[in-house]
Amino acid sequence: MSRRQTTEKARRPRKSGQDTPDIGAFAHLPPADRNLAESVQNALDREDYAATLKAAGKALNSTNAEVRLHAVEALGWFGKRALAELTPCMADSDENVAQSAANAWELALSEIEDAKERFDVALLALTTISAKDPLRMIGSQFANAATDLIEGIEDEQSAAEKRIGVVQAVADIICGDQPSQAAAAREIYEEITGHEWLNVEEAEKYLSDPENYEPPENTEAP
């Protein structure tokens, strides 16, 4: 059995309730929150993605972290289909919710075989999330996807052009107004180019001629 098949099998909800909470687990919640959690659970038990997505969307607006956590865990069952919904959850104010979303997001991303699709998803997350903890993981996944994308192109010129496009995207994030995203992007820049980020001017020199670029001596990054 392939890794992908194993992952999909592991995600599939079981109506026996062995792998998902029993409805009774929400009895302690206030009525409004209990209804939200139960709606998510009922849809999940039916293995109805559309209904789960709708119910989870409402639950994610709850002020109760336990309800939001349940919504995130429910979305995680559907893997890559729920990546768009899981992405903003990685910035949840509750540490447990954010970590659960990050774990589910990372696992879901691994289900995507196409490097371009993985790259696009990781780029969106990198430009959406500003919390430091998930950014470390997102940055690593972005760099891996970018490497796979570039190395998957056989034509050298096309691969070089793609590398320039990736580096340009990273440079744009570094020059943005989110310090945490910029810090993560600097690490990606170094991993992809093999050079430390110094400033915009040096990045432009690299982009103009990556093969022959030489960084200035005795210059430290700001």
Separation between Cα atoms, residue 111 and residue 158, nearest integer Å:
26
Instruction: Give the count of domains, the chain.
Output: 2
Q: Which domain holds residue 180?
A: 115-212
Instruction: Decide if 38 contacts 25 (C-beta within 8 A).
Output: no
Same domain for 79 and 153? Answer: no
The answer to the question of residue 218 being in a domain is no
User: Is 7 within the bounds of a domain?
Assistant: yes
Measured torsion, CA atoms of residues 165, 168, 169, 173, in degrees rounded to the nearest 10: 170
The pLDDT tens digits for 182-221 are 999 999 999 989 999 999 999 999 888 888 899 988 655 5
Using the 3D structure, point to which of 62, 77, 109 is the last residue of a domain.
Answer: 109
Same domain for 121 and 44, yes or no, is no
Residues 104 and 16 both lie in one domain: yes
Q: Where are the alpha helices (H) located in 83-131, listed in sequence order? A: 83-89, 95-109, 115-128
Does residue 163 share a domain with residue 99? no
pTM: 0.81
CA 221, CA 85: separation in Å to the nearest integer? 36
pLDDT, tens digit, 9 for 90 and up, residues 77-102 = 999 999 999 999 999 999 999 999 99
Assess whether 154 and 176 both reside in one domain. Answer: yes
Q: Phi and psi for 149 in degrees, rounded to 5?
A: -65, -45
7, 105: one domain: yes
Q: Are residues 188 and 99 in the same domain?
A: no
Domain match, 48 and 134 both: no
Q: Are residues 103 and 137 in the same domain?
A: no
